[in-house]
Amino acid sequence: MAIDFKVHTYASLPSTQHYVKELVAEGLPEGTVVQAIEQRAGKGRHGRKWFSPMGNLYMSVLLRPDCDVAQAGQLAFVAAVAVAAAIDTVLDEKHKLSLKWPNDILIDGKKVCGILIEKEADGYALGIGVNIMAPPDGAVALNDVTWDIQVPVHPFRDKLLAALGETYSLWQDEGFAKIRSAWLAQAHGVDEPIKTEKGEGIFRGLSEDGALQLETAEGAILDINSGDVYFAAEDKE
């Protein structure tokens, strides 16, 4: 079943995520999208701030998936695969896109997009921030890695929503398997050392339902469902 996206664009908001959470509670339909040209209090995961000056894409999508709360974490992968597909249409082949568990998109190892999923009442707010021309320190801008002169924000938003419509329908109609395979095919750091809040080990992939699989020094496989993951060669963000 395709989503009918209705985009509401604002010049400036504290956070599109806060706004969409209010709209979930007010009963607005799935596919309602709030975009802000800038955010004054952009929110990242774990209560971090999300750098939100003019020039990047900031949007939150209202979703009401037909799934248990336990499966809703799979939305991170549904969204990441869609963002990757949209970025692929503009990415210069010299640069490499990868997906970092659970919901970051990297180009050449630097963050280009962050995804935040929050439950509110009987729905979800899916927040997506893509650095297009104004990245924070240490991150990358899409404009610096594209084959085109520049990536206009609104057409890129529409490409991303079209891709999200496809990955979301695939997930709702057929389950997680194809999303999981698409994500794994682009995953960052499989078979490399990682540190997680549950300990250190080797990143061995994704479980059938989306948990990170960590192989411990003793050879056991642990399923990790939340918390940050750091690859040995990186600094913490």
Per rule CB under 6 A, is residue 32 in the interface with ligand BTN?
no
Burial (CB count <10 Å: 0-12, 13-18, 19+), residue 65: middle
Instruction: Select from 17, 74, 131, 167 the one that contacts ligand BTN (CB under 6 A).
Output: 17
Site string for ligand BTN, 80-109 (x = CB under 6 A): ------------------------x-----
30: left (phi over 0), alpha (psi -120 to 50) or beta: beta
Per rule CB under 6 A, is residue 196 in the interface with ligand BTN?
no
Residue with smaller CB distance to ligand BTN, 157 or 180: 157
Per rule CB under 6 A, is residue 131 in the interface with ligand BTN?
no
* Residues 6 or more apart in contact with residue 33 via CB below 8 angstroms: 5, 6, 7, 8, 59, 60, 61, 62, 161
Per rule CB under 6 A, is residue 157 in the interface with ligand BTN?
no
CB 115 within 8 A of CB 103: yes
Please tell me the distance from the alpha carbon of residue 33 to that of residue 14, in angstroms, as a whole number. Answer: 15
Residue with smaller CB distance to ligand BTN, 48 or 96: 48
CB 172 within 8 A of CB 1: yes
In the complex, minimum distance from the CB of residue 175 to ligand BTN, in angstroms, rounded to a whole number: 25
User: Which residue sits closest to ligand BTN, CB atoms considered?
Assistant: 114
Residue with smaller CB distance to ligand BTN, 44 or 165: 44
Cis peptide before 102 (omega within 30 of 0): yes
Residue with the two structure tokens 């989503």? 3
Per rule CB under 6 A, is residue 21 in the interface with ligand BTN?
no
Residue with smaller CB distance to ligand BTN, 118 or 144: 118
Per rule CB under 6 A, is residue 210 in the interface with ligand BTN?
no
Burial (CB count <10 Å: 0-12, 13-18, 19+), residue 19: buried
**Which residues, numbered 50-79, are part of the site for ligand BTN (CB under 6 A)?**
50, 58-60
Residue with smaller CB distance to ligand BTN, 42 or 201: 42
Classify residue 91 by its DSSP letter. B
Per rule CB under 6 A, is residue 16 in the interface with ligand BTN?
yes
Q: How many CA atoms lie within 13 A of 51 on its CB side?
A: 17
Enumerate binding residues for ligand BTN (CB under 6 A): 15-17, 39, 42-45, 48, 50, 58-60, 104, 114-116, 127-129
